[in-house]
């Protein structure tokens, strides 16, 4: 529909995948009181380790492009036994290709072969070690019992990922390129059948000593996605919990944390397309460091909370804290994964760093009766180096001599983002209004937020080439303008019955920044209705069940401007739509 070619273009994607997972865990936890006294220190600890494995045997994937030009078309068919690169022009009603190409600026050689078609064998082995301890030391000050708390947390994750691949006949990285696709008339089942795969049975006219006629033979290739990596965090904290007056309580502290994230891509014996270096390096290769390391020194993160108790049913709270969001190991590693829906490669970014957030929150809460809550909150956030997903293309333009794929990767936004809003919460017992409903509770939570960040010059100019009226600011990545939650609960302790109906809907969210000219990607609001129940059958037996996604709405991702109902100048352009 959007190709602009004189004819119909069909794109068919097939994926067949089975995954085997194993998980082994060990956990030791305890709590100790040192002395049998009122102000005795208490120590709690947790030691945990786990090992998880994931095996994707024979993961099969194909992306077939079928172009039906008006009046047919011509393709070049190599001459068997010819020593030159020439061939015979051959007519066909369909022009076929298995979607593949290159990505500039990535991979161990500065250019990455994007060949999603084929069969892959993947193995992931990850070990996790987590050690945590907390020490609570009570003390008296001005007649009040207060507490000093300190502790530490250590996490280490070690990962090994291996992948080997088999190209399909018809791949652009094989000697005959798309010729087998034409012979199979675009039928992928024929393409991988014995008609094309394997050594052929000798024919009657094959003379003694002659070489057998060969079909396509699979040759296992080492992919550029093999890597090892580690993820380490080490933190310790100290805090005090003070009751300054009978009605005022103050708790605050500081946490120091360091991060050490690294990975190494195995580049030894990785398959490299011969055409990249044939004829005196037709495409220049620029080796890139396959190792990624992100390490930070100990950095303080603060937290302070104040609570004023007006009476036994009403509180005023104020809080300030600083937090961080770390990049994942896969996100900094220079490997790739093909995204069939956007015809691009999800790649790592070794230059990622932690996102830093400052939070300020004010809350009033009232408890009019047992189990009932009425609360109003106002909040604000300031975010630096926000982690965002970016769609971009490094291209040679009209000078390109090979197909070029876009990339999808996480980046840090260099500008500072801000969020502010309010939150309303209510929980009400229906029995207070009518006694037969005494076991029913209804609750709702509504969040309204406004977010803003200035677009980078690259982002602004990219969309301005298509939309001259585009604003210079944008909502923050994955920040919804509203969130609505509601629930209805029936609980009968006498009969052991518990039924809960929940509803949830989140407003549109920016999920991808596009630097290729088209509008950014937004997810549309999705109403979700779930039902969960449990029934006590006996003292030791309870029956539980649920019904999820009762409404089964379409989940849409669209190209749009913010706050337009998922449209771009009155029209809806769908990137992806599906139901679960």
Instruction: Based on the fold, state whether residues 454 and 572 are members of the same structural domain.
Output: yes
Domain membership of residue 1 (yes or no) is no
Instruction: Based on the fold, state whether residues 359 and 431 are members of the same structural domain.
Output: no
Of the pLDDT bands very low, low, confident and very high (cuts 50, 70, 90), residue 335 is confident
Cβ neighbours of residue 278 closer than 8 Å, sequence gap 6 or more: none
Among candidate residues 108, 132, 79, 150, the one with its CA nearest the CA of residue 268: 108
List pLDDT tens digits, range 164-212: 998 888 888 877 788 899 999 999 999 999 888 887 776 666 666 665 5
Instruction: Based on the fold, state whether residues 431 and 331 are members of the same structural domain.
Output: no
CA dist 226 and 287 (Å) reads: 17
Of the pLDDT bands very low, low, confident and very high (cuts 50, 70, 90), residue 357 is very high
DSSP labels, 507-560: --EEEEEE-SSSPPEEEPP--EEEEEEEEE-SSS-EEEEEE--SS---EEEEE-
Q: How many CB atoms lie within 10 A of CB 497?
A: 14
Domain finish residue from 414, 434, 459: 414
**Entry pTM:** 0.87
List pLDDT tens digits, range 117-141: 999 999 999 999 999 999 999 988 8
Q: What is the mean pLDDT of the chain?
A: 89
CA dist 454 and 388 (Å) reads: 14
Instruction: Based on the fold, state whether residues 242 and 372 are members of the same structural domain.
Output: yes
| 346 has a pLDDT exceeding 60 | yes
Domain finish residue from 399, 414, 429: 414
Q: What is the mean pLDDT of residues 491-516?
A: 94
The confidence score (pLDDT) of residue 177 equals 83
* Four-point Cα dihedral 503, 508, 509, 513, nearest 10: 150
Instruction: Supply the range of the domain harboring residue 53.
Output: 7-414
- Residue 319 parent element (H or E): strand 314-325
| 226 has a pLDDT exceeding 50 | yes
Instruction: Based on the fold, state whether residues 278 and 336 are members of the same structural domain.
Output: yes
Instruction: Based on the fold, state whether residues 533 and 430 are members of the same structural domain.
Output: yes
Into how many domains does the chain fold? 2
Q: How long is the chain? A: 580
Of the pLDDT bands very low, low, confident and very high (cuts 50, 70, 90), residue 280 is very low
Q: Are the beta carbons of 94 and 35 closer than 8 angstroms? A: no
Among candidate residues 421, 439, 400, the one with its CA nearest the CA of residue 480: 421
CB-based burial label for 211 (10 Å; 0-12, 13-18, 19+): exposed
| 274 has a pLDDT exceeding 90 | no
Q: Are the beta carbons of 273 and 173 closer than 8 angstroms? A: yes
CB-based burial label for 530 (10 Å; 0-12, 13-18, 19+): middle
Of the pLDDT bands very low, low, confident and very high (cuts 50, 70, 90), residue 272 is low
Domain finish residue from 391, 414, 437: 414
Instruction: Based on the fold, state whether residues 88 and 134 are members of the same structural domain.
Output: yes
Of the pLDDT bands very low, low, confident and very high (cuts 50, 70, 90), residue 85 is low
Q: Are the beta carbons of 113 and 335 closer than 8 angstroms? A: no
Q: Is 408 helix (H, G, I), strand (E, B) or coil?
A: strand
List pLDDT tens digits, range 456-482: 999 999 999 888 888 999 999 999 999
| 561 has a pLDDT exceeding 80 | yes
Which ranges constitute the DSSP H helices of 379-448? none
The confidence score (pLDDT) of residue 281 equals 46
| 30 has a pLDDT exceeding 80 | yes
């Amino acid at each position: 529909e959007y190709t602009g070619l004189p004819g119909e273009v069909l794109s068919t994607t097939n994926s067949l995948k089975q995954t085997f997972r194993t998980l082994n865990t060990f956990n030791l936890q305890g709590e100790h009181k040192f002395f049998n006294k009122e102000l005795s220190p208490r120590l709690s600890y947790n030691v945990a380790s786990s090992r998880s494995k994931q095996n994707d045997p024979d993961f099969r994937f194909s992306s077939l492009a079928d172009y039906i030009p008006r009046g047919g078309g011509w393709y070049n068919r190599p001459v068997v036994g010819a020593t030159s690169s020439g061939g015979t022009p051959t007519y066909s009603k369909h022009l076929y290709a298995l979607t593949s190409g290159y990505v500039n600026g990535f991979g161990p050689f500065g250019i990455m072969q994007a060949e999603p078609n084929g069969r892959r064998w993947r193995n992931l082995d990850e070990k996790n070690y987590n050690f945590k301890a907390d020490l609570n030391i009570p003390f008296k000050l001005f007649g009040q019992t207060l507490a000093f708390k300190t502790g530490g947390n250590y996490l280490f994750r070690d990962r090994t990922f291996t992948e080997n691949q088999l190209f399909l006949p018809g791949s652009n990285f094989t000697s005959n390129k798309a010729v087998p696709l034409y012979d199979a008339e675009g039928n992928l089942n024929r393409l991988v059948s014995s008609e094309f795969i394997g050594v052929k049975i000798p024919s009657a006219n094959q003379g003694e000593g002659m070489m057998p006629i060969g079909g396509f033979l699979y040759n296992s290739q080492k992919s550029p996605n093999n890597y090892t990596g580690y993820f380490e965090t080490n933190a310790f904290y100290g805090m005090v919990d003070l009751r300054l007056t009978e009605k005022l309580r103050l708790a605050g502290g500081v946490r120091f944390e360091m991060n050490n994230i690294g990975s190494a891509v195995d580049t030894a014996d990785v398959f490299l397309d011969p055409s990249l270096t044939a004829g005196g390096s037709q495409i220049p290769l620029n080796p890139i460091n396959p190792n990624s390391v992100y390490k930070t020194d100990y950095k303080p993160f603060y937290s302070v909370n104040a609570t004023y108790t007006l009476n036994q049913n009403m509180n005023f709270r104020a809080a300030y804290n600083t937090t961080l969001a770390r990049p994942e190991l896969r996100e900094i590693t220079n490997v790739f994964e093909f995204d069939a829906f956007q015809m691009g490669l999800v790649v790592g970014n070794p230059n990622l760093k932690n996102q830093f957030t400052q939070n300020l929150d004010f809350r009033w809460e009232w408890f009019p009766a047992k189990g009932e809550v009425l609360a109003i909150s106002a909040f604000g956030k300031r975010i630096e180096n926000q982690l965002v997903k970016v769609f971009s293309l490094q291209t040679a333009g009209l000078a390109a001599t090979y197909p070029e794929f876009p990339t999808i990767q996480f980046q840090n936004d260099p500008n500072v983002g801000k969020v502010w809003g309010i939150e309303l919460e209510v929980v009400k017992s229906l029995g207070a209004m009518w006694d037969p409903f005494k076991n029913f509770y209804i609750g709702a939570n509504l969040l309204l937020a406004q977010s803003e960040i200035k677009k980078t010059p690259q982002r602004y100019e990219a969309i301005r080439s298509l939309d001259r009226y585009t604003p210079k600011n944008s909502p923050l990545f994955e920040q919804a303008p509203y969130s609505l939650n509601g629930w209805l609960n029936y609980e009968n302790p006498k009969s052991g019955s518990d039924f809960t109906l929940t509803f949830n809907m989140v407003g549109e969210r920016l999920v991808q920044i596009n630097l290729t000219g088209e509008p950014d990607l937004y997810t549309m609001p999705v109403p979700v209705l779930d039902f969960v129940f449990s029934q006590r059958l006996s003292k030791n037996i309870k029956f539980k069940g649920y019904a999820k996604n009762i409404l089964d709405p379409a989940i849409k991702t669209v190209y749009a401007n913010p706050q337009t109902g998922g449209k771009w100048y009155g029209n809806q352009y769908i990137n992806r739509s599906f139901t679960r």
